[in-house]
Amino acid sequence: MCTETPEWVEAELSKATRQGYRVIALAYRRLGGQTDLSSGSAVIRTKKRSEVEKDLVFAGLMLSDSPLKTDTRKTILSLKSSGHRCIMITGDNLHTAAAVARKSAIVAKGRAVMRLASVTPGAPADPADKKSKPTPPCAVFEPLYAEQPGVSSVPPATLPITPGQALPDIREMALCASGNKLDELLEIPALATLVTPLLKVIARCSPDNKAAVVAVLADAGMAPLMCGDGTNDVGALRKAAVGLALMETPDYKIKLQRDAEIAEAKRQGKKIHPLQALGVPMPSVMGQGGRPATQTQLMAVARQ
């Protein structure tokens, strides 16, 4: 165990999140030498969280995976082909979210991922200086990764977006925002209305921010459909033009299993039936002495 964070942690964390894993850092601390928490619970409960969660011993990283449903990518591609814009809003780490967005086709193949790096609110003109002009707000994006193999074109080092100015060409890019930079963006309505509809992935998003993002999309003239499956999504579901709450039930899992079994049975059936057909003797239409066979004779041969 480590009393300090090892040097390899950042590299391993980045590697895992870029593959789409959810990563939890594990650490511990012994509380006053108590081995039986029930006997010392009264004392422990009086301590503040800041007192307890300090001087921790690093224990390692725990990786978890949540595979996509079999029809997720197909569904996203179908929505995009019908003219719908798909945006991921999640509380996950930005690197994890970007990896899942690629797998699900929200971020198209070959697109360079750009993160919101800075937000400047702008400033009014200086009244004391007649030549002074107001400075508009600006959102600046930078590449999420230092190296992005497989992209269609090399992304720029910086990508500024400013209200009132022509939008840069972002057709070969996927814009993302996360955490406090998202908070800063949402505090500037003119900039948020311009930039938010361009985003593909919005990560480290709180429940309030999810609702705010949906509201901004509506203010931009869109009719957002919000699809969510947890209590963190309730506010956004209510703000959306259409709120679609998901719930996975045992019946749904049984249906998926049954559909898979039926599909497998059909696949096997295509292999078996022709072989069986070849083994069925073909009744002759001619009876004894060259005379036409009767119906009874044909049925008897068929039974054999």
Helix (H) or strand (E) holding 8: helix 8-18
Q: What is the pLDDT of residue 280?
A: 47
User: 242: closest CA among 256, 225, 261?
Assistant: 225
User: 17: closest CA among 92, 87, 89?
Assistant: 92
Whether residue 200 contacts residue 141, with contact meaning beta carbons closer than 8 Å, is answered with no
- Contacts by residues 152-156 (CB-CB < 8 Å, ≥ 24 positions apart): 152/110, 152/111, 152/112, 153/112, 154/112, 155/112, 155/114
User: 29: closest CA among 59, 63, 56?
Assistant: 56
Specify the pTM.
0.71
Q: What is the pLDDT of residues 113-149, one digit of tens each?
A: 999 999 999 888 788 887 888 888 999 999 998 777 7
Q: What is the pLDDT of residues 62-92, one digit of tens each?
A: 888 888 888 899 999 999 999 999 999 999 8
Here the tokens at position 199 are 């985003």
Beta-carbon count within 10 A of 256 CB: 14
Q: What is the pLDDT of residue 197?
A: 94
Polymer length of the chain: 304
Q: Which residue ranges in the chain fall short of pLDDT 50?
A: 278, 280
* DSSP label at residue 110: T
User: 89: closest CA among 207, 231, 248?
Assistant: 207
Q: What is the pLDDT of residue 34?
A: 54
Whether residue 112 contacts residue 155, with contact meaning beta carbons closer than 8 Å, is answered with yes
Helix H segments across 47-113? 49-52, 72-81, 94-103
284 phi, psi to nearest 5 deg: -85, 145
User: 3: closest CA among 60, 52, 58, 53?
Assistant: 58
Q: What is the pLDDT of residues 183-205, one digit of tens each?
A: 999 999 999 999 999 999 999 99
User: 116: closest CA among 186, 175, 183?
Assistant: 175
Largest pairwise CA distance in the chain: 122
